[in-house]
Amino acid sequence: MTRIDLDPDRLLPAEPSQRAVARRLHQEVGNLPIVSPHGHVDPLLLLEDRPFDDPAALFITPDHYVTRMLHAHGVPLGALGVPRRDGDGSGADPREIWRLLCRHWEAFRGTPSRYWIEAQLAGVFDVPIRPSADDADQIYDRLLERFALPEYRPRALFDRFNVEVLATTDDPCSDLFVHRRLAEDPTWTGRVVPTFRADRYLDPSLDGWSTCIDELGRAAGVDTSSYSGYIEALQERRAHFKRQGATATDHGPPDAGTATLSPAQAERIFVSARGAKASGDETRAFRQHMVCEMARMSCDDGLVMQLHPGVFRNHHPQTWRDHGTDQGADIPVAIEFTRALRPLLDLYGAHPNFRMVVFTLDETTWSRELAPLAGFYPSVYIGAPWWFLDTPDALLRFREAVTDTAGFAKTSGFIDDTRAFGSIPVRHDVARRIDCAYLSRLVVEHRLAEAEAAATARDLAHRLPLEVFRL
């Protein structure tokens, strides 16, 4: 058995004088409340507050960071408990799923997934045993023992993690029943807010788009047979989300393109797309127009617009056919922002009520495009590294790339973007440690006083995400 030892100086700089500064900075932020403004945890977990079923269901099956790596090493997704798109369960045994992870643990060397899981095992669940084929069952059984204790139920962990606010990701047609029940529960003291994710209602090229527009109309109580009714329905659903506590929208188009259509052009393409007669150029123009429409609506209702384009979704058709979306087969592509966003920013870039947080998986744009855009437009903020880039090295590269031009205050603060509930505190701790490492270099190079660095570290960990996302 190999023990997991969480060194108190993990991820801090190796150089002694810089490490000493970073250690002091981390003491300032290590225990600050967690603000999670962009995530994918199912709020039903907190409403029901049931004990976790098994280690596989918590650590593996919902976490595409983990399942995609195992798939890359030849493990079928069905063997990991990933449900099929047709609704049939995989029938995989949870203990065997856990054994598969442990047998392939060497594949995770150097990855953030390994760091996150080991930090959860040792720091959250007090099972400080490094996964291996020999110790798989022992770890599994110890975790089951923890899950049976009241202090390891979801609400108890939410409190222990010191989560001040958790944002979820929700379909515009959702009645947000779970959020409402949580807010009305007198035994619940946490804060969970929805986020308006409308991608499948904005892009006529997607399968089933016209059916989605019918569903949108029913949810909003509006006739969506016309473009004006469609716009009214989107506005009504945004208002519904805002009444339930939402402060942001979330958009993941394939590119960053924005465009404006006249009402007559938009109506013509809308009607054509409803009849499945619109061309590819028309559906793309309509989608890019609707990004601008979402920005216009944000100027009116104040919802912060999150934009994260540049992902080739469902790159492996068979995985999509068998298991659906969000199964690890989304691959980043190169992206351009400067020209693509100009139509939107020409209209709303200086609007006093508009705020847009732009994320990317193409880190070559950090210093070339996003930092200069955020360094000029009052409305633009740079989203923290996420998804493929929320790694210690990439987080450090981010600060080095954008700070010269945009400073710290035009960045979003960390987002965990996780479906794996137990990973929330360890992901935020990684970001805090890396920010302290970067700030410590500015201190030892006499570019920033230590008191200013400490204030900046606190801002990045807590104040900025609250303010940027209007939480």
Beta strands per DSSP E along 299-347: 304-307, 311-312, 331-332
The pLDDT of residue 88: 67
Smallest Cα–Cα separation from 420: which of 121, 103, 137? 121
Beta bridge partners of 36: 166
pTM of the model: 0.95
Would you place residue 7 in the very low, low, confident or very high pLDDT band (cuts 50, 70, 90)?
A: very high
| Tens digit of each residue's pLDDT (9 = 90 or more) over 113-147 | 999 999 999 999 999 999 999 999 999 999 999 99
Instruction: Decide if 117 contacts 131 (C-beta within 8 A).
Output: yes
Instruction: Over range 320-325, report the average pLDDT.
Output: 85
All structural domains of the chain: 16-51+153-468 (3.20.20.140), 52-152 (1.10.2020.10)
Report the run of H or E that residue 344 belongs to, with start and end. helix 342-348
pLDDT at residue 322 tops 90: no
Instruction: Over range 353-382, report the average pLDDT.
Output: 98
| Tens digit of each residue's pLDDT (9 = 90 or more) over 187-227 | 999 999 999 999 999 999 999 999 999 999 999 999 999 99
Query: Kind of pairing, strands 192-193 and 163-167?
Result: parallel
Report the run of H or E that residue 398 belongs to, with start and end. helix 392-406
Cα Rg for the chain, rounded, in angstroms? 23
Phi, psi of 59 (to 5 degrees): -95, -25
pLDDT at residue 57 tops 80: yes
Beta bridge partners of 130: none
Q: Alpha-carbon distance 46 to 360, whole Å?
A: 30
DSSP 190-221: --EE--EE-HHHH-TTSTTHHHHHHHHHHHHT
Phi, psi of 411 (to 5 degrees): -110, 165
Would you place residue 90 in the very low, low, confident or very high pLDDT band (cuts 50, 70, 90)?
A: low
Phi, psi of 250 (to 5 degrees): -140, 125
Neighbour-count burial for 267-293, b at 16+ CB within 10 Å, e otherwise: ebbbebbbeeebeeebbbbbbbbbbbb
What is the greatest pairwise CA distance in the chain?
69
Q: Which residues contact 154 (CB under 8 A, 6 or more apart)?
A: 45, 46, 49, 50, 52, 421
Task: Record the tokens describing residue 89, joined without a space.
Answer: 């369960």
